[in-house]
Amino acid sequence: MTQRLSRRAALGLAAASLAAGAGAQPAGPIRIIVPFAAGGSTDAVARLVTPGLTQRFGQPVVVENRSGAAGSIGTDAVAKAAPDGLTWLLTFDSHATLPALLASLPFNLTKDLDPVMLIGGAPYVLATRPDKPYRSLTDLVAAAKAKPDGVSYGSTGNGTLGHLTMMLLQARTGTSMPHLAYRGGGLAVNDTIAGHIEVMIGSAALLAPHISGGSLRAIGQFGPERLPALKDIPTAEESGFPGLQAEAWWGVFAPAGTPAPLVARMNAALRETLNEPRLRQQMEENQQARLVLSDPPALAAFIDQQVEIWGKVVRDNAIRAD
């Protein structure tokens, strides 16, 4: 508890220095490490912001993809980097499941990384091929009850928030649905469109283009409210599952000990970049994102909450990364 309070105090000082850090400048080219392969939403967000960051810092800002081990390899590289403002982590929601999902981590999620900004989130969505009989979350649950182990679902990987959300749904409804864990969103989408699995769960950023294009039909969403692009699709809470929420999110972190003025400088540069009307529109339309653009303490509190919620699901179901 003492450690946590000390950390909160340090984060409070970082937040207080947001304005004071406007003149701080890293001494060299800046790397943003994305701990996943190119082509996913995290990579897309990183590449969207780098031109604006390059302009604001007046020096090159590049994206470096270091994928593997559920995002822990790239995260470890940042945790072990010098706290000089030249290395940053832009990561995804699976970040919060790492302590429970992997038996041993080479870094400590809170001690070795300092929070910078929660960029925003997008709800997880359930979708199916349009000729499948499911038109709502209620339909899916009814079918799974009528035919135990007969309604399969896909996710973008074992231990992802999509997978964990479906585990919660099954626990709440007393159903059993076989899980197919894919090593990427594209493969899961292709098999859902082909009819090899009944439904899939993925972020709205992944599924929205296929839903709007007609190759998939949304049957439920797990955000706190309906997305404008899916205004006719009820949330899980509206469908009778209070508290069942799951959102993909993107956050930025620095190596622990990065000076507060440099953290403040990156926070301000990200905020200015993502508040540009064109970029905000791209995030809202292409990624279906609800932008937050938080300060460091808000991200720290959010991570604590996410680790507690999803870590329990991982432990209760003895889930391990592939």
Task: Tell me which residue has tokens 């080219």.
Answer: 29
In a domain, 208, yes or no: yes
pLDDT class for 120, splitting at 50, 70, 90?
Answer: very high
Can you give the pLDDT at residue 293? 98
Same domain, yes or no, for 98 and 60?
yes
Rounded to whole angstroms, the Cα distance separating 152 from 255 reads 41
DSSP letter for each residue of 265-277: HHHHHHHHHHTSH
Rounded CA-CA distance 309/63 in Å is 30
User: 235 lies in a domain?
Assistant: no
Residue with the larger pLDDT of the pair 103 and 88: 88
CATH of residue 263: 3.40.190.150
Could you give the CA distance from residue 26 to residue 311 in angstroms, rounded to a whole number?
Answer: 35
SS3 at position 129? coil
Note whether 163 and 212 are same-domain residues: yes
Percent of the chain with pLDDT over 70: 93
Token pair of 251, please?
Answer: 């956050």
Q: Is the pLDDT of residue 12 over 70?
A: no
User: Using CA atoms, how far apart are residues 70 and 73, in angstroms rounded to an integer?
Assistant: 8
Residues 14 and 108 in one domain: yes
* Within a domain: 236: no
145 belongs to a structural domain = yes
Same domain as 147, residue 254: no
Q: Which pLDDT belongs to residue 270?
A: 98
DSSP 234: P
Q: Provide the pLDDT for residue 19.
A: 46
What is d(CA 252, CA 22) in angstroms, rounded to the nearest whole number?
A: 18
- The C-alpha atoms of residue 212 and residue 224 are separated, in whole angstroms, by 21
Q: Taking 60 as the threshold, does the pLDDT of residue 250 lie above it?
A: yes
Digit-coded pLDDT (tens) for 268-313: 999 999 999 999 999 999 889 999 999 999 999 999 999 999 999 9
pLDDT tens figures, 88-99: 999 999 999 999
Domain identity same for 70 and 134: no
* pLDDT for the residue 204: 93
Do 135 and 107 lie in one domain? The reply is no
Q: How many domains does the chain have?
A: 2
Query: The pTM is what?
Result: 0.87
Q: Is residue 226 part of a domain?
A: yes
Residue 10 confidence (pLDDT): 46
Please state, rounded to an integer, the average pLDDT across all residues of the chain: 91
Looking at per-residue confidence, does 68 or 217 come out higher? Answer: 217
Alpha-carbon gap, residue 181 to 84, rounded angstroms: 38
Q: Are 19 and 114 part of one and the same domain?
A: yes
Percent of the chain topping pLDDT 90: 81
Residue 322 is predicted with a pLDDT of 67
Contact in structure between 188 and 166 (CB atoms under 8 Å): no
Question: What pLDDT does 157 receive?
Answer: 87
In a domain, 18, yes or no: yes
State yes or no: pLDDT of 11 exceeds 70.
Answer: no
- Structural domain range at position 89: 2-121+248-316
Note whether 311 and 202 are same-domain residues. no
One domain, residues 88 and 33: yes
Across the range 26-32, mean pLDDT stands at 92
pLDDT band per the 50, 70, 90 thresholds, residue 1? very low
Distance, CA of 126 to CA of 154 (rounded, Å): 10
Is 23 a residue whose pLDDT tops 70? no
125-177 tens-digit pLDDT: 999 999 999 999 999 999 999 999 999 999 988 899 999 999 999 999 999 99
Instruction: Give yes or no: residues 87 and 145 share one domain.
Output: no
The token duo for 249 is 């999110």
| pLDDT at residue 4 is higher than 60 | no
Rounded alpha-carbon distances, angstroms, from residue 248 to 105, 161, 214: 22, 8, 23
* Residue 101 and residue 12 in one domain: yes
Residue 322 lies in a domain: no
| Closest C-alpha among 148, 115, 149, 309 to residue 222 | 309
